[in-house]
């Protein structure tokens, strides 16, 4: 009983303290947020976006070997040329909001990880899987929408082979200090308007073999993977946060 009485009077003291406040004491007016104009239609870049591919050229990209990018631009699409290697942005990024659309090529006789495989590799290190998921079973932490080998998607939001798939990715980069990792990376992924990764905290990089680990780095390019199939990309833009 004494404990209840003490808690009650303690609560009343707190209420009394805050009742002396004015609304102005919990308001602030600067800095004023930057004005950003939304895109003219769903998927269109907002006014502060960096356009990485608008269907015209590969000016924002280079090969993984720091040479001119060897992928093709055909009918407003950027297509993987199998065997030419990955491409990466000339600009470096950390925290970001990324919009990217992709289309899987005809499946032919391919299946599993060999069908429409590519990857969106944030900071050249952390892969969001690109894969044909139209009646194409594979390991779930390697299917479309996964954080490769770390986190299966919450849903299979892929539509059909030959249709454009839309990724919206929200990336919080890892932070490193003098003693190593200070805060891990975190990612939210929306595929075709459906949440498939909900603030997932990464355990490190996304290797094909072995367990993930963190290695200190700063801002790095965005990379797209050549995995041997002619995946197409379009409407790629990023907000550098």
Query: What pLDDT shows up at residue 199?
Result: 98
Q: Radius of gyration over alpha carbons of the chain, in Å?
A: 23
**Other CB atoms within 10 Å distance of the CB of residue 5:** 9
Q: What is the pLDDT of residues 61-91, one digit of tens each?
A: 999 999 999 999 999 999 999 999 999 999 9
Q: 216 or 4: whose pLDDT is higher?
A: 216
Q: Give CA separation, 164 vs 2, 161, 184, 231, in Å.
A: 66, 8, 32, 11
Chain-centroid distance of CA 7 in Å reads: 47
Q: Write down the mean pLDDT value for the chain.
A: 93
Q: What is the pLDDT of residues 195-229, one digit of tens each?
A: 999 999 999 999 999 999 999 999 999 999 999 99
Please state the domain extents for the chain.
49-240
Residue 176 pLDDT exceeds 90: yes
Residue 4 pLDDT exceeds 80: no
Q: Give CA separation, 158 vs 77, 87, 121, 161, 207, in Å.
A: 19, 24, 19, 9, 24
User: What is the dihedral angle through the alpha carbons of 136, 139, 140, 143, rounded to the nearest 10 degrees?
Assistant: -50
User: Domain 49-240 is of which CATH architecture?
Assistant: Sandwich (2.60)
**Other CB atoms within 10 Å distance of the CB of residue 31:** 6
Q: What is the mean pLDDT of residues 155-167?
A: 97
For 32, counting Cβ atoms within 10 Å of its Cβ (0-12 exposed, 13-18 middle, 19+ buried), the class is exposed
Helix (H/G/I), strand (E/B), else coil: 166:
strand
Residue 96 pLDDT exceeds 60: yes
Confidence of residue 109 (pLDDT cuts 50, 70, 90): confident
Specify the pTM.
Answer: 0.90
Query: What pLDDT shows up at residue 19?
Result: 73
Pairing of strands 118-122, 175-177: unpaired
Query: What pLDDT shows up at residue 99?
Result: 98
Q: What is the pLDDT of residues 10-54, one digit of tens each?
A: 655 555 666 789 999 999 999 999 999 999 999 999 999 999 999
Query: What pLDDT shows up at residue 15?
Result: 54
């Amino acid at each position: 009983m004494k404990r209840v009485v003490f808690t009650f009077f303690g609560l009343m003291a707190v209420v009394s303290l805050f009742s002396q406040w004015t609304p102005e004491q919990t308001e602030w007016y600067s800095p004023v947020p930057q004005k950003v104009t939304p895109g003219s239609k769903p998927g269109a870049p907002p006014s502060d976006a960096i356009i990485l591919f608008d269907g015209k050229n590969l000016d924002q990209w280079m090969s993984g070997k720091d040479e001119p990018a060897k992928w093709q631009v055909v009918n407003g699409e950027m297509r993987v040329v199998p065997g030419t290697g990955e491409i990466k942005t000339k600009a470096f990024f950390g925290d970001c909001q990324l919009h990217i659309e992709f289309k899987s090529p005809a499946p032919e006789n391919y299946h599993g990880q060999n069908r429409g495989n590519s990857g969106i590799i944030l900071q050249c290190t952390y892969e969001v899987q690109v894969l044909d998921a139209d009646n194409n079973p594979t390991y779930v932490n390697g299917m479309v929408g996964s954080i490769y080998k770390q986190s299966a998607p919450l849903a299979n939001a892929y539509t059909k082979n030959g249709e454009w798939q839309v990724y919206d990715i929200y990336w919080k980069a890892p932070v490193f200090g003098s003693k190593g990792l200070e805060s891990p990376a975190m990612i939210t992924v929306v595929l075709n308007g459906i949440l498939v990764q909900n603030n997932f905290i990464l355990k490190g990089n996304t290797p094909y073999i072995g367990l993930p680990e963190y290695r200190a780095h700063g801002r790095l390019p965005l990379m797209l993977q050549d995995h041997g199939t002619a995946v197409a990309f379009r409407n790629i833009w990023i907000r550098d946060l």
